[in-house]
Amino acid sequence: MGRVFVTGLGVVSSLGLGRTAFWDSMVAGRCGFSPIETFDTRGLDRCFAGEVKGFRPRDFLTGAEARRMGRCSAFGLAAARMAVEDAKLDSGLLAGERTAVVVGTTMGEADIIGELESTWFREGVEAVDKGKIPRYGTTLLPIHIARAFGAQGMVQTLPAACAAGNYAIGFAADHIRAGRADVAISGASEILQRLEFAGFVRLGAMARQRCQPFDKNRKGLILGEGAAMLILESERHAAARGASPLAEIGGCGLACDAHHITRPHPEGAGIRTAMQAAIDESGLAVDEVDFINAHGTGTHANDRIESRVIREVFGERPVPVSSMKGMLGHCMGAASALEAVSCVMTVQTGVYPPTVGYETPDPECDINLVANQATRGPSGVVLNNALAFGGYDAVLAFARAGRLPETALS
């Protein structure tokens, strides 16, 4: 067992490409919502999302890579290349069996399977473009990244719903701690797709133009898309090449509500278990957590139950809390990976990004919310909550390098 450091960050988001553009927008409280352009929203009663605009695959991919990948894989590989560059990591060091790739998603290349099925249903099987079939498959997401860098260690896709990013990063960190890899490229990727968008509308979970987490008059979530990749390294590997750690990966608390497909447990049982486990596995006490990035979807059920659990875990101590979904939207499988990048930046800078759109306090969400304006504060330890449909609860701790006790995660 040993320490695992984050040494590089890559981002594709509606707020910008690359960690600097992304973080500057987060701190400024900018909103990435706009009318959807990648599919026809007529008849869906909603049309706004955190859609990535201006992404040109050939800015990051070779011609051959662009031809064999869908939008979701292209997002992932672009973010991975940014992360490797950010880590100042010679890509030659990634070749071989000691580099793993772990990627989370909810639906992967959903637009490709949607297109193939639509053609099949409307025009028959002979009309299906066989050339597009190999581009589909969630298993391909880490394969494309591994192939690009010659990484021959473990590859894994974790389709853990909207907690997939935290699942992937936590799993990759454990893989390094177990001595099975020196480096891991890990994060998540997700795209907007018509069927998924229509599903959230039908569930009555979608707001029209803005998302207001923890506000009394919140109307629901706004969907988003994007990708984030982190370079994780063992302490020994990072030290050997003189890398500067951005943050350390702490405990990853995992639990299941075992209650309902779309609603959280009424007492937040799984959320509480996951939060406490992340703190305990990090070798910390509750009062050592400085900031929480909440799941904070802007839905009544999530925000009310998550607030309740935060109060129960932290008691009277008003630990600062923020939700980024009023700016990014809910990027599903990629949500907690994108928010992990923000958590690492908070560890680096001491800046808490704001929860935008907050207007009216909700007595049922009585937490210390960072409302509308970014603030500064202690940032030695940050928690990243991811609470998905089906009761997937994954909470990941990030800490300043060297902040966690030596006994942590042993």
Q: Which entry of 144, 175, 265, 295 is annotated as an active-site residue?
A: 295
Half-sphere exposure at residue 285, Cβ-oriented, CA atoms within 13 angstroms: 4
Question: Whose CA is closest to 116, among 107, 126, 102?
Answer: 126
Contact yes or no for 4/251 (Cβ under 8 A):
no
Q: Which entry of 162, 252, 343, 365 is annotated as an active-site residue?
A: 162
User: How far is 356 from 361, CA to CA, in rounded Å?
Assistant: 13
User: How far is 235 from 341, CA to CA, in rounded Å?
Assistant: 19
Q: Which amino acid is at 208?
A: R
- Is 252 an annotated catalytic residue? no
- Is 175 an annotated catalytic residue? no
User: How far is 131 from 139, CA to CA, in rounded Å?
Assistant: 18
Q: Which residues contact 231 (CB under 8 A, 6 or more apart)?
A: 6, 7, 8, 9, 83, 84, 86, 87, 89, 183, 184, 185
User: How far is 226 from 62, CA to CA, in rounded Å?
Assistant: 20
Question: Whose CA is closest to 290, among 239, 237, 349?
Answer: 349
204 torsion bin: left (phi>0), alpha (psi -120 to 50), beta (else): left
User: How far is 45 from 87, CA to CA, in rounded Å?
Assistant: 43
User: How far is 375 from 355, CA to CA, in rounded Å?
Assistant: 11
Q: Which entry of 265, 330, 343, 365 is annotated as an active-site residue?
A: 330
User: How far is 4 from 182, CA to CA, in rounded Å?
Assistant: 9
- Is 211 an annotated catalytic residue? no
Question: Whose CA is closest to 329, among 191, 195, 187?
Answer: 191
Active site residues: 162, 295, 330
